Amino acid sequence: MALKLGLVGIGKIARDQHIPALAADPRFELVATASRNARVDGVACFASVEAMLAEVPELDAISICTPPQAHFEAAVAGLRAGKHVMLEKPPAATTRQIALLQAEAAQQGRTLFQTWHSRFAAGVDAARDWLRGRTLTGGTITWKEDVHHWHPGQQWIFDAGGLGVFDPGINALSVLTEVLAEDAVVHKAVLEFPENQQAPIAAQLDLRTPTGVSVQAAFDFRQKGEQTWDIELLTTTGSLRLSQGGGVLEIDGRPVAADAALAGEYPRLYARFAELCAMGRSEVDWRPFQLVADAFLVGERRIVAPHQV
């Protein structure tokens, strides 16, 4: 029997990815939405998650794809109503909120799937498997895109808690933490804040492993033309390159996997959510979010030219 699901937040990512993925998966039935400003034809629509939960008690699960500042309250409401919860990235406004949500899910006996969609890109699993047993010697991350294209008119991303360039940058960090055999920490960081905004428009990170290997990351929201989402990792016995956000993998210059479509990631996300609900398990990994928080803690702050959304 299909899981009856309520979708919270009907914005660009919901329309582009979540709704098509749900429509194609017989394990789910989209029966309700909660959004202050948008509706989905043919589906019961409510102005708040609380109203949706109260009026559609038969829901089995909710999927939250609002801006991160609203994730915590919506997820708590869902869990306490006895629903399984899937969280779009970034997971919440603070790292403490994730810990509390994990504890709440355990207490309620519900599934919490705190997602990182870039980990479900076509090349990530093969990259992780290839790196196991090899010795990392260095790496670079180049994650640069045009905020006006991907977040047109969305002021929230530059408000306090919106993460700015770390909204896409955290995708790169989610892939890095998935494929590396050892953890990395933020050694140094430089964050560039527009003088009229509360979140950075660019950032440079020096990440270090416990053995002292450096991975340099450059994030920028001001990229025009071709967009760049690349990770290159070097080892003593070869190198790999993940491009197109993890959808294309090359090892020693030879193609191994190629599916650059973001649309392929979301069906795999919902397939995993269905599996977790069936097993009664949660999946929570906030290491990418911790790296972002640590960049804010130790990073040098530089003021740059104003930016208009």
Confidence at residue 258, expressed as pLDDT on a 0 to 100 scale: 72
d(CA 22, CA 29): 7
Whole-prediction pTM: 0.94
Confidence at residue 262, expressed as pLDDT on a 0 to 100 scale: 65
Give per-residue pLDDT as tens, 134-171.
999 999 999 999 999 999 999 999 999 899 999 999 99
Residue showing tokens 């950032």: 203
Show contacts of 127-133: CB within 8 Å, 24+ apart.
127/175, 127/179, 127/233, 127/240, 127/242, 127/246, 127/249, 128/178, 128/179, 130/240, 130/251, 131/179, 131/180, 131/181, 131/233, 131/235, 131/240, 132/181, 133/181
Residue type, 46: F
pLDDT, tens digit only, all 309 positions of the chain: 899 999 999 998 999 999 999 999 999 999 999 998 888 999 999 999 999 999 999 999 999 999 899 999 999 999 999 999 999 999 999 999 999 999 999 999 999 999 999 999 999 999 999 999 899 999 999 999 999 999 999 999 999 989 999 999 999 999 999 999 999 999 999 999 999 999 999 999 999 999 999 999 999 999 999 999 999 999 999 999 999 999 999 999 999 877 766 668 999 999 999 999 999 999 999 999 999 999 999 999 999 999 999
3-class DSSP state of 282: coil
If one counts every other C-beta atom within 10 angstroms of the C-beta of residue 64, the result is 27
**DSSP one-letter code for 6:** E
Q: Which residues contact 33 (CB under 8 A, 6 or more apart)?
A: 6, 7, 8, 10, 39, 40, 43, 44, 45, 46, 52
Residue 106 · residue 164 · CB < 8 Å: no
Domains observed in the chain? 3-114 (3.40.50.720), 118-261+293-304 (3.30.360.10)
Q: Could you list the active site residues?
A: 89
d(CA 34, CA 40): 10
